[in-house]
Structure 1
Amino acid sequence: MLFFEPALPLPAVGERTATLRAQVRRFIADELASGGFEPQCNSWTEGLGGAFSRRLGARGWIGYHWPVAYGGCGGSAFDTLTINEELLAAGAPVAAHWIAARQSAPLLMRFGSEAQRQAFLPRIAAGDTYFAIGMSEPDVGSDLASVRTRAEPSGARWRLDGRKVWTSGAHIAHYAIVLCRTAPADPTARHAGLSQFIVDLKAPGVTIRPILMLDGSHHFNEVTFDGVELPAECLVGQAGDGWKQVTSELAYERSGPERFLSTMPIVERCLRLVLEAPAAGSDAAAGRLLARLITLRNMSLAIWGALEAGRSPAIEAAMVKDLGTNFERDTLEIVREAMDADGRVAGDAVLAGLLASAWPLAPTYNLRGGTNEVLRNMIAKQLQAR
C-alpha cells in the first residue's frame, strides 16, 4: 500500500504546472468579475453549468493530460489535478462534465475499444458530452457485487433490465456506464459475471426520476431500464470483466480532490477573514483545518501518481475518501462555531450563505462514492492481510 511505504512518493511541481495554475487562477478571476458564476460548495455535484464546461473545454482544460488524438493536450495527470484543484477551491460550476472527465473517460481509455475512445473522448474533452455512473441499486448500497440489473443476449444485441439509484446528474447526462450482471450470480465467486455497458439515457426504455434533497435541490436520480436494447459495441471491455473494471474506476472516484474540497469555499472565506484581522483564540482551530487539508492533498497526489503509473490503489483511495469526507463535515461544524464565537467572522453574509447551502448536503458526504463504513471494512481487511 502506498501509505505504508517508507517515503510517500509525491510529484515534483515543475515550472509548467506552476504556470498552468496561474493561468487557471486568472481565468477564474475573470469569470468571477464578469459574473460567469457564483462560488458554491459542492460545485462538482450542484454546479450544473454546461456553458462553463464548454468554456473550459475550449481552453483544453478538461482531460488536459489525455492524448491529443482523444481531445487532450498531452500534459501530465498532475496538470489536470492542478486545474481541478483550482476550480473546486473556487466553487466553480463543473458538475456537468465532472463524472465523464473524472472516471468515465479514464475507464474507456484503459478498457474501452478504439471506436469507443474516438466516439466519446473528444466530446467529453470539449465539454459537450456528459456521463453518469450506473452502479448503486436499491437494497444493494455499496455492495456492488450484489447488483441485480441484468443484460442478456438478444440476437446480436443485449437487452438491459433493472434499476439504479443515487445516479448523480442523470437528468442532464447523455450516457451512463452501467454495471450489471451478464451471467448468473455464483455464491462461490461473487465478483464473476459482471459487465459494463455504455447506455444512451435517451434510449427507449430508460426512465429517469428525480431524487430531491431536503432543500429541494436536484442532482440525484433513480434510473430504470425496461428492456433497453443495446448494440454489441456498447459493451465496455470483455463480458465478465466488470468487477476488475469498476474497481479501477472507483480509484478515480474516491481519491480526487473533490473528496476534501467540496467545502473549500467556506474554508477559504473563513481563513481570509481570520488572516485579515488580529490573532485570536480560534486560530488554533484554523491551523488544525489547514494541517488536515495539506495531509489529504498529499495523499491524493500520491494516488494520482500511482494511477498515472498504471497502478490501481483502491484501498488508498478509500482512505482518502473516508478521511476527506469527514474533514468536509468537520469543517462545517468548526466554521459554524467560529461564527458564533469569533468576532472576525461573525455576521459575514457571504460565509453564512455558503454554510446555509452546504448544510443540507452534509449527510451525503459520507455516503456518495461508497459509505465510509463499507470503505473502512475494505481498509481493515487489507490491513489484516498484511
Structure 2
Amino acid sequence: MTTTLVPPLVTESEQTRELRLQVRAFLRAEVDAGSFTPWVDTWLTRWDAAFTRKLAERGWVGMTVPVEYGGHGRTFLDRFAVTEELLAVGAPVAAQWVADRQIAPSLLRFGTEHQKRTFLPRIVAGEMCWGIGMSEPESGSDLASVQTRARQVDGGWVLQGRKTWTSGAHEADAFFALARTAPVDPGNRHAGLSQFAVDLHADGVTIEPIVAMNGSRHFNEVLLDDVFVPDDMVLGEIGQGWHQVTSELAFERSGPERFLSTYPLLDAALTAHRETRPGTSSGLGRHIARLTALHQLSISVAGCLQAGDQADTAAALVKVLGTTEEGDIADTVERMLADGELDGVADLGALTALTDAAVLQRPGFTLRGGTNEILRGVIARGLGLR
C-alpha cells in the first residue's frame, strides 16, 4: 500500500458514465412524481427509509460490498457517480448514508466473518441504518479525550458514557461506539481505545434530541448506562480503536457530501438568475469553477481508495476546501436575495426557503467530520510542513 499526497487524475469509464445517466433519469422521474422535494444538506437532514429501499432495489446501496456479503462488487468510482447524482439533486439519503459510507467499509476491513454476514446484507438491502458514536460533550475533534468507558465482564463488555451530535440515532438501529478500555497513557493518549457495535434499542440506551434552531431534529445525544455489548460485537481488536477510526476518515472526509451539500441551492439560484437577468453576470461562475475542481479532487481520492492507496491528506483537503465552498454558496445566494438581484423569479418563496435552510446548516459544514482547524494541521503534517 502506498501513501498518495496528490492523487492521480481519474476519468470515468463509459460504464460508470452510463450508470450516472441511469441514476439521473431515475431521480428526474422521482422529482416529477413528487417522491421528494430537492433540498440542501440531505445526507444529514432528510431521512427517508422508503426512498433508501428504492435505491437498494436498484443496486445503489452497498455498491462496493462484495457479492459474497450480499453486495454488488462495484468500484468506488461507480459509487462516487451514484452518490454525486443523489446529492446534486438534493435527494433524501440520510437513512443509508453512514452505513454505506463508513460502517460497511469498516466491517469489511476489521469485522469478523460473523459480523460481516450479520450486518452487510441488511445494509445493502437498505434494511439496517447506522450512526457513529464518536463525539462527546467534551470531546469533539480531539477523540483521544473520550470519556466513555468499557469494562470487561463475563461474555462481553459494559459501556458507560455519553455520545453527542449523533446524526440519526433516533432512527438508526445501531452505531459504532468509541470507548476507552484501558487507562489513559500520558505518553500515548490514543492507546487504549476500542470500538463496539452497539444496538441502539438495547437496555440502558437513552436517546435525547438535540433540536436545531429551525426546530428540526437530526442530531441526538446518546446516553449509555451500563449497556452490555457481547464479545462478538467488538469491532476489530481491543485497544486498536484509534487506528481503526483514523482508517475510516478518508471515506468520511473525501466524498461528494463535503462539497455538494448546497449544490441544489446553487442550481436554483442559477435558474433564477437566467429567468430574471438573462445575459448578465451573476457572480455564481466562481462557484461552478470551484465545484469542478473539487469534483476532480474528490473523484481522484475515490480512485485511490479503489487502488487500496492511502489518501488521508487529499481527503482532508477535500473536506477543508469543500465545506468552506458549501458555506460560501449559501452566503452568495443570501446576498443576492438581499440585494434584490433575484426579484421577479417565479417562486421566490421556495428559493428563499432553500437559502434560509442552507444558511442555518452552514455552521455545521466545517465542524462535522473534524473541524477545518484540526484538518489544516493534518494537511500540514501530510505535506511535511510540521
TM-score bracket for the superposition, by shorter chain length? over 0.9
Q: Quote the residue 2:79 is aligned against.
A: 80
Secondary structure (helix, strand or coil) at the match of 1:158 reads strand
Distance in 1 (alpha carbons) for counterparts of 2:121 and 2:281: 51
Secondary structure (helix, strand or coil) at the match of 1:172 reads coil
- In the alignment, does 2:325 pair up with 1:332? no
Distance in 1 (alpha carbons) for counterparts of 2:75 and 2:183: 41
CA displacement at 1:287 relative to structure 2: 1.5
Count residues in correspondence: 381
Query: In terms of mean alpha carbon deviation, does 171-180 or 149-158 score higher?
Result: 149-158
Check 1:346–1:234 CA distance in 2 against 1; reply closer, same or farther (3 A cut).
farther
Q: Quote the residue 1:280 is aligned against.
A: 280
Distance in 2 (alpha carbons) for counterparts of 1:153 and 1:36: 47
Distance in 2 (alpha carbons) for counterparts of 1:100 and 1:324: 22
Deviations 1:41-63 (A, max 9, x none): 01001110010001111111002
Alignment of 1:4-23 (within 5 A): 5=6, 8-23=7-22
Distance in 2 (alpha carbons) for counterparts of 1:103 and 1:346: 44
Distance in 2 (alpha carbons) for counterparts of 1:345 and 1:259: 30
Secondary structure (helix, strand or coil) at the match of 2:314 reads helix
Secondary structure (helix, strand or coil) at the match of 2:259 reads helix
Distance in 1 (alpha carbons) for counterparts of 2:234 and 2:54: 31
Contact 1:213–1:361 under 8 Å retained in 2: no
Question: Residue type of the partner of 1:60?
Answer: G
Q: Quote the residue 1:349 is aligned against.
A: 349
Distance in 2 (alpha carbons) for counterparts of 1:211 and 1:133: 15
Secondary structure (helix, strand or coil) at the match of 2:160 reads strand
Output the aligned Cα RMSD: 1.6
Alignment of 1:260-275 (within 5 A): 260-275=259-274
CA displacement at 1:311 relative to structure 2: 2.7
Q: Quote the residue 1:303 is aligned against.
A: 301
Secondary structure (helix, strand or coil) at the match of 1:252 reads helix
Check 1:346–1:141 CA distance in 2 against 1; reply closer, same or farther (3 A cut).
farther
Q: Quote the residue 1:169 is aligned against.
A: 168
Deviations 1:219-247 (A, max 9, x none): 10000111111110000111111111100
Contact 1:340–1:346 under 8 Å retained in 2: no
CA displacement at 1:362 relative to structure 2: 1.3
Question: Residue type of the partner of 1:79?
Answer: D
Question: Residue type of the partner of 2:29?
Answer: D
CA displacement at 1:14 relative to structure 2: 1.2
- In the alignment, does 2:213 pair up with 1:214? yes
CA displacement at 1:109 relative to structure 2: 0.8
Distance in 2 (alpha carbons) for counterparts of 1:70 and 1:304: 22
Contact 2:4–2:309 under 8 Å retained in 1: no
Deviations 1:92-130 (A, max 9, x none): 000011001010111101111111111111111111100
Query: In terms of mean alpha carbon deviation, does 70-79 or 221-230 score higher?
Result: 70-79
Distance in 2 (alpha carbons) for counterparts of 1:316 and 1:18: 24
CA displacement at 1:12 relative to structure 2: 2.2
- In the alignment, does 2:373 pair up with 1:373? yes
Q: Quote the residue 2:108 is aligned against.
A: 109
Distance in 2 (alpha carbons) for counterparts of 1:47 and 1:148: 30
CA displacement at 1:65 relative to structure 2: 2.4
Q: Quote the residue 1:256 is aligned against.
A: 255
Secondary structure (helix, strand or coil) at the match of 1:261 reads coil
Q: TM-score if structure 1 supplies the norm length?
A: 0.95
Q: Quote the residue 2:317 is aligned against.
A: 319
